[in-house]
Amino acid sequence: MKIIKITPLTGPVAATVAIPRCAFKDDMLAPEEASRQVGSLVVVSDVGATKEGEYHLNANLSGTAIRFILALSAIVPGVKVIRGRGRLNERPIAHLVEALEQLGARIEYVDKQGYPPVRVLSSRLKPGTVRMRGTVSSQFLSALLMIAPLVGELRIEVEGEQVSRPYIDMTIDAMRAFGVEAENEGYKRYFVRAGQAYRATEYTVEGDFSSAAYFFAIAALTGSTLTLTNLNPKTVQADIRFLKILEGMGNEVVYRENAIVIAGKGVKAVSVDMRDCPDQAQTLAVLAAFAKGKTTIKGVQSLRVKETERVVAIERELRKMSIRAESTEDTLVVYGGSPVPVRIDTYGDHRMAMSFAVAATKLPGMEIADPDVVAKTFPRFWKSLALAGAPFDTVYEHPNVILIGMRGGGKTAVGRALAEKTKKELVDVDDLIEEREGMKIAETVAKRGWEYFRDRESEVVAFLHHLPVVGEDGLRPGDQERRGGHRPRRAQEALRGGGRRDRHRYQYDPRREDRRGAETSGAAGSFMRRLR
């Protein structure tokens, strides 16, 4: 397991942190890869170049990606199987599926009703009126709005209270920049007129206020003065509202042309509704742990269907810190006190890691487990944190054993023996790839080629640093760099057989599945005898 130990700020600091405008983060890679698979580098108004066929599109852990890809898939040719990884397949998409079906989409659930994966059979939608609920996610509505010019005249009527309204403003603002107007009637009705088309344009991506918010919070908690650059003070981004909350706590904020300066003055208990900026509810809850009194955070219902059940996760970690926290369906209450340092479990959630890192800049002895989850939205977060005055150390507990070798070389047999001997879990990279792709390795290679398979293999390996015994096939030149410097953290056993003998075995029986559990000979057999 990888753990980060953060050194708290020694006192109030003055520092400048550049907030990234556009980083190659996991949430961007999934929709880009899906667009590439269906024949487009960038999808604009012409989907005619997309060919008939069956496409397996993986959104990995990105809720944004799976919702946007699903809507787009309903208007491009072919059969599209869309899935996620882990928790994403437990996040509801029924409201979006039902809305698309109102426009003529044919969509089947592959496993559980209302959740990914899904199979999209349609390639065209009809203009008309859609009624959909707005209580779960604004991304359902954004997905429909963005495909509207490719459908024709579209009206959307929202039932119930619309959550995360600023994200809808951002969607409409981006559509306008590319030549399409969408009318918003009080967040209850939307109208996109027929005859509009997206046009190519130069578009500058703003610095991300969601990323900046953690540094705003650090300044408030530690009494520091931080300057965050690459930020537009006139943005429509939802998380700029977090600054108003911090001002309500007594902190001073200065808005400059391309930067925000926050002078931290401390934190105090507040009562706020975060329905329009729910991504920072976790950060506020962490600040509330240090504030005297009762902090009430309303509008948190959408957090229950995010990367993890965030309300439960926040409560659990705050209680570990000796902070009382309780919740209802849409409200989280935190009673500030004297938090104690603990190891924070991140639940595979990038925002859990970054939110509790805020506490670590104040509280000595805090540890963040599985810190690489921040790659989902802010890959350079830990380096930016160090630039703000909070350096960190990386520690590996119970490091991995990595087995690398050709197919049929004995990895599976050796891995099983090692796992039994060390009481660790055995993970086979090929098994995980087959699960993600929904087909056997041979089928993946036949349909998409070795280069595609090796790319998927690299992605899987990047996520396996915290697992104990991992088996994978041979590395190619350059794979060390492609896999982010992936190395065994504890031991590496070279299973060396005679080159001529291994080539003969590989040529004679290339079907690795048939060799699993077979008698292991050569270097692998010798190693297993020593292990016993």
Q: Summarize the annotated binding site for 3-phosphoshikimate as residue ranges.
A: 137-139, 164, 279, 306
Interatomic CA distance for residues 87 and 309, integer angstroms: 10
Apex 350 CA angle, 115 and 469, nearest 5: 85
CA-angle at 33, arms to 30 and 38, nearest 5°? 130
Coil, helix or strand at residue 378: coil
Strand, helix or coil for residue 131: strand
Sheet architecture: strand order including 331-335 = 271-273, 294-298, 331-335, 324-327
Query: Which candidate, 6, 17, 27, 24, places its Cα nearest to that of 349?
Result: 27
C-beta separation of 260 from 233 below 8 A: yes
Paired residues of 5 in beta bridges: 367, 393
Q: Which of 405, 404, 428 is nearest to 416 (CA)?
A: 428
349 is catalytic: no
Burial of 141 (0-12, 13-18, 19+ CB in 10 A): buried
Q: What gap in Å lies between CA 428 and CA 403, rounded to an integer?
A: 10
Catalytic residue among 26, 169, 208, 279: 279
Say if residues 40 and 251 touch (Cβ distance below 8 Å). no
Q: How far apart (Å, rounded) are the C-alpha atoms in residues 453 and 447?
A: 10
Annotated binding site for phosphoenolpyruvate: which residue ranges? 63, 91, 139, 310, 351, 376
Residues serving a catalytic function are 279
